[in-house]
Amino acid sequence: MHELLLEKAITGDRKSIARCISLIENESEGYEELLHALPELKEQHVIGVTGPPGAGKSTLVDGMIKQWVDKKKKVAVICVDPSSAFHQGALLGDRIRMSNWFDNENVYIRSLATRGSLGGLNAAVLEILLLLNACPFDLVIIETVGVGQSEVDIAKLADVTVVVLVPEGGDEIQTMKAGLMEIADIFVINKSDRPGADLLMKNLMEMSAPVFSRKEERVAVVKTIASQQEGIAELVKEIEVILEKPVDHQKKAELYASRAWQLIQKRRMRDLSYGKLVEDVRERMKGGGWRFYSWVDSFAPGRD
């Protein structure tokens, strides 16, 4: 059943793609077999968009979609939203955001919930990207839930990381520099018709110089007014310039290794239950003569 579903997804069938993503996200029965059946990875560009709430990320992404669709590109968009406290689903849905593209055959949009993941992304986003890599998309855009020093996982996933700021956020740059400011490949000053845009641009230009940013080249800074489609073409051009450069596999290698580490730990712990460990400890403590590290070694030997 899942084989037929995957076959349809690979051809670009949107309903099948949606069902495959749901299987993976919810770790439903058969999802691992589906992942094992994926073809070998092909080249597919991933663009990450992050920034503080209210910066206009979704409007910006909407404009980016238009630019690439006009160039006959097929685009998938993953919007990572806050989780509902009741059902763990995304609070915002793809029907609400970017609704202009809902029926466009060249665009697929999906909202995911963070479900408590600390990195600003859904825990299964890597596996979902593997699925989308098998589908006929030229580009994948990932828009993250927010911004902060713990939410820099997007930089590992993306070939290009776009950090969106607004003029009013100029005073916060110093506090963000240690984390967010260092992951940006491109800075966007959205809503740049507001007061303070020029000062923010000056500060960003200074802080993104190689001597401060630890990057070999100055990070591009682009002004936009996404609601009016101003500056979007320039942003897309800057993204494409970076995509044309040789690929640095280091950060993605670290990402895949990190996820593999998590999966291996999870599988090795599959037969262990924390509750049963508590009960076992309690019984052993009652009996006396209990050696803690020897007991741990019975589950995972620490030495030969």
Amino acid at 143: E
One domain, residues 71 and 169: yes
- What is the per-residue pLDDT for 12? 94
Identify whether 188 is part of a domain. Answer: yes
> What are residue 200's DSSP bridge partners?
none
Pair 33, 62 in one domain: no
> Structural domain of residue 297, as residue ranges?
274-304
Residues 252 and 300 in one domain: no
Q: Are residues 121 and 144 in the same domain?
A: yes
Unique residue bearing structure tokens 């979007």:
232
Other residues' Cβ atoms within 10 Å of the Cβ of residue 215 = 14
Q: 18, 39, 17, 21: which is closest to 31 by C-alpha? A: 21
**Domain match, 121 and 202 both:** yes
Do 56 and 189 share a structural domain?
Answer: yes
| Inside any domain, residue 15 | yes
Q: Return the sign of the alpha-carbon dihedral for residues 91, 157, 52, 185.
A: negative
Can you give the CATH number for the domain in which 106 is found?
3.40.50.300
Averaged confidence pLDDT in the chain: 82
Other Cβ atoms within 10 Å of 41 Cβ, number = 10
- Are 154 and 181 members of one domain? yes
Q: How many CB atoms lie within 10 A of CB 258?
A: 13
CA atoms within 13 A on the CB side of 152: 14
Task: Let me know if residue 266 belongs to a domain.
Answer: no
Tell me: the pLDDT tens digits for 219-240? 899 999 999 999 999 999 999 9
Quick one: 32 and 61 in the same domain? no
**Can you list the residues of the chain whose pLDDT is less than 50?**
83-95, 116-120, 149-150, 211
Structure tokens, 262: 């998590």
Are 48 and 154 contained in the same domain?
yes
Is residue 299 located within the same domain as residue 216? no
Query: Could you tell me the sign of the dihedral formed by the alpha carbons of 98, 99, 102, 106, in that order?
Result: negative
pLDDT value of position 181:
65
Residue 94 shares a structural domain with residue 205? yes
Instruction: Report the pLDDT value the prediction gives residue 22, as an integer from 0 to 100.
Output: 93
* Cα gap 169→172, rounded to integer Å: 5
The reply to whether 264 falls in a domain is no
Residues near 44 by beta carbon (within 8 Å), at least 6 away in sequence: 132, 133, 137, 138, 139, 140
The count of domains in the chain is 3
Per-residue confidence (pLDDT) for residue 270, from 0 to 100: 82
